[in-house]
Amino acid sequence: MSISSDTVTRTRADESETLPSRWRRSTLLRAAVYAVGGLVVLSLVRVITGANDIDSSGALAAALALAAPIALAGLGGLWSERAGIVNIGLEGMMILGTWGGAFFAYHYGAWMGVLGAILLGAIGGAIHALATVIFGVDHIVSGVAINTLGAGAAAYLAARTFTGLPGGGPTQSPGLPDLPTVTIGPLADWLGNLEKGGTFLVADIASALRALVYHLSVLTIIVALLFVLTAWILWRTGFGLRLRSCGEAPTAAETLGVNVYRYKFVATVISGGLAGLGGGFLALVASGLYRDGQTGGRGFIGLAAMIFGNWRPGGLAGGAALFGYTDAINLRGGDDVIRAYLLPVAVFLLLWGVWQLRRRKQGKPITGVVSVIMALVVGAWFALMKAMPSEITQMTPYIATLLVLAFASQRLRMPKADGLIYRKGEAS
């Protein structure tokens, strides 16, 4: 049984090794086609419905800021799970990071805050690694303990360190120094004018670009670089190959001389550091202060983003972006935007249904009829309502997650030895 699946992985790896340039080119091409297609649809919807916030630079910038902490937590999860350690303690490590970021930033400056967040998160990761790798504790048990411990430790430390500071209190830090932001003034103004013009496609490209050149935090850029770096290290270096082998077949890796314990330990510490940086982002960039409970479960959302990104950095970034975008639209009161999205959904369902009906031989008439009816219902809903009820807008992130998972879950594959307790010398 293990032989067959091993062969499958190997052939897949071989393909990508023998045809790297072609593979990469086709993936890039596909991504570009998707991006352009998405932009055209988005732009059409905007022009037709007049829901300008659908891709305004403000909404996109907010989406970016809301996605970054989720993405960092997910990236942390990616590192540990690729080495076979399930890290449900990301939330706790993130909370430690919020305190670390705030404390070091307040006393030693913003950049030290970034390092402090990473340090505190890494400590959480090291505890998790100690429990799961060295002592062989169940990963979930240890992770839950880290979540409780992280929240408790951060609340205690905050009360000890922030009480009595000007503007601070037991549950809140004073305002923190800002990290530098990138603004290309004249370009941002020019793009802003283009965006206001509202021309089809031009305005949409302008607003997307403007979100990147107006008040963009350097930490956001660092997050993007960390994704590239992670993809490169884990999939293009020997270190990364060995690390992933610990998550797929640790006993096989052991027989080949890989020090599995060390790799798992290092991966989990890095995982904690990244989650901590996610917390640091929340405290330093998104909020400008520490506040008890400010993570609000984002560690878990990061984990979910990683899962539906199929344990890969690209998919994870997409998942985080989806969460960030729907969150931003919701928070910006996007009742009209969510309504606008009904239009492409209706059109898509209609086309799909008609296509199923027209292809008499391979087509599925029942699916076709159902699709057309659904299209009419959604279309009528779109036509009759001026804005989505805000209750439904609030649910959008969850509905989007459910839909994506429903369509993508068939193709998800987690590292084979993920979550299993590994003991040295027990190969059988």
Q: Which parts of this chain interact with other proteins (CB under 8 A)?
A: 53, 56, 58-59, 62, 65-66, 148-149, 151-156, 158-159, 163, 166-167, 169-172, 174-175, 282, 286-289, 291-294, 296-297, 327-328, 331-333, 390-391, 394
What is the nearest approach in angstroms of other proteins to the Cβ of residue 7?
Answer: 47
Which CA distances in Å does 243 have to 89, 220, 224, 237, 366? Answer: 20, 27, 22, 10, 48
Rounded to whole angstroms, how far apart are CA atoms 372 and 350?
A: 5
* Least CB distance to other proteins at residue 239 (A): 35
Which CB sits closer to other proteins, 136 or 297?
Answer: 297
> Which helix (H) or strand (E) is 329 found in, with range?
helix 313-331
Shortest spacing between CB 268 and other proteins, in angstroms:
22
CB of residue 58 to other proteins, shortest distance in Å? 4
Q: State the minimum distance, in angstroms, from the CB of residue 83 to other proteins.
A: 29
Residue 181's φ and ψ, nearest 5 degrees, are -120, 155
State the minimum distance, in angstroms, from the CB of residue 257 to other proteins.
Answer: 41
Query: Which backbone phi and psi does 353 adopt, to 5 degrees?
Result: -65, -45
Q: Pairing between strand 216-217 and 181-182?
A: antiparallel
Residue 217, strand partner residues:
181
Sequence-separated (6 or more) residues with CB below 8 Å from residue 194: 202, 203, 206
Minimum CB distance to other proteins, residue 317 (Å): 19
We find the least distance from the C-beta atom of residue 65 to other proteins, in angstroms, to be: 7
Closest approach of other proteins to the CB of residue 378, in Å? 24
For residue 222, what are its two tokens?
């660092």
Residue among 51 and 269 whose Cβ is closer to other proteins: 51
Give 333's contacts (C-beta < 8 A, 6+ positions apart).
390, 393
Work out how close the CB of 287 gets to other proteins at its nearest, in angstroms, rounded to a whole number: 4
DSSP 111-152: HHHHHHHHHHHHHHHHHHHIIIIIS---HHHHHHHHHHHHHH
Which residues sit opposite 169 in a β-bridge? 172
Q: Which is nearer to other proteins, 302 or 353 (CB)?
A: 302
Q: Is 191:213 a contact under the CB 8 Å cutoff?
A: yes
Nearest residue (CB) to other proteins, 51 versus 372: 51
CB-wise, 52 or 371, nearer to other proteins? 52
CA distances from 281 to 4, 104, 242, 278, 404 (A): 44, 13, 30, 5, 27
CB 285 within 8 A of CB 222: no
* Integer Cα distance of 173 and 383 in angstroms: 48
> Which residues are 291's β-sheet partners?
172
Per DSSP, helices labelled H in 282-388 are 298-308, 313-331, 335-358, 365-384
Which CB atom, from 330 or from 371, has the smaller least distance to other proteins?
Answer: 330
User: Which one, 117 or 375, has the nearer CB to other proteins?
Assistant: 117
- Nearer Cβ to other proteins, position 151 or 378? 151
The residue among 37 and 152 lying less far from other proteins, judged by its C-beta, is 152
Looking at the chain, the number of H-run helices and the number of E-run strands are 17, 2
- Nearer Cβ to other proteins (20/152): 152
Question: What is the closest distance, in whole angstroms, from the C-beta atom of residue 321 to other proteins in the complex?
Answer: 15
Dihedral angle of Cα 250, 235, 270, 308, to the nearest 10 degrees? -90
Looking at the Cβ atoms of 291 and 416, the one nearer to other proteins is 291
